Amino acid sequence: MAGKVGAIVKPAAAPTPASAAVPGGYVPPTCAAVRAEPSPEGALTTFHNNFPAALEDQKLVERVTLDDRALRAISAYLACLAQRTNYEPDVAETALWLYASKRHGSRARAQLRALTMVPGDDGAAAKEFARQIEDYLAADR
C-alpha cells in the first residue's frame, strides 16, 4: 500500500516507454530495445536519428520541461546504450548538456544514480555510465 509507514521499498525498474514521454513526443527506447538492435553501430545510428536535439544543446536543454520520470527514462536509455556500445564516448558527449544543465542536471544525475541500484545488467550499466558522466563533468570544471 502506497504511503504505508514501514513499507519495504524495492528499487524501481527502468520505466516503460509509455510512462516516460518527453516533450515533443520522444519516448526513449527501453533497455530491451537497445539490446535487440542487431549491432552496436545500429544502436548508435538509432540514437543519433532519434535523440532530441534540444537535449544535446546547451541552451535548448534549459527550455525543455522534464519531470523526474522522463529524466529516469532518458538516463536508463543512455546507460543501456552506453553499455551496448562498450561505453562509446559519443553517447556521454552527446548527452552531456543534459547532465550539466543548471535546470535539469542535478535531478538527471540523481535519477542516473538511482538507476545504479537496479539489480543486474541495467544497474551495472547505470553505474558505469554515471562514472563516465561524472568524469566528463569533473574534467569540464
Q: Where are the domains of the chain?
A: 26-139
Q: Tens of pLDDT along 53-65? A: 999 999 999 999 9
pTM recorded for the entire structure: 0.84
CA 100 – CA 32 distance, rounded (Å): 27
Task: Tell me which H or E stretch contains 29.
Answer: none
What is the per-residue pLDDT for 140?
Answer: 74
> What are the residues whose beta carbons fall under 8 Å from the beta carbon of 83, sequence distance 6 or more?
121, 124, 125, 128, 129
Q: Which three cell numbers stand for residue 92?
A: 556521454
CA 55 – CA 51 distance, rounded (Å): 8
Q: Which three cell numbers stand for residue 112?
A: 542516473
Q: Which of the residues in the chain have pLDDT under 70?
A: 1-23, 141
What is the per-residue pLDDT for 67?
Answer: 92
What is the per-residue pLDDT for 100?
Answer: 97
CA 19 – CA 111 distance, rounded (Å): 15
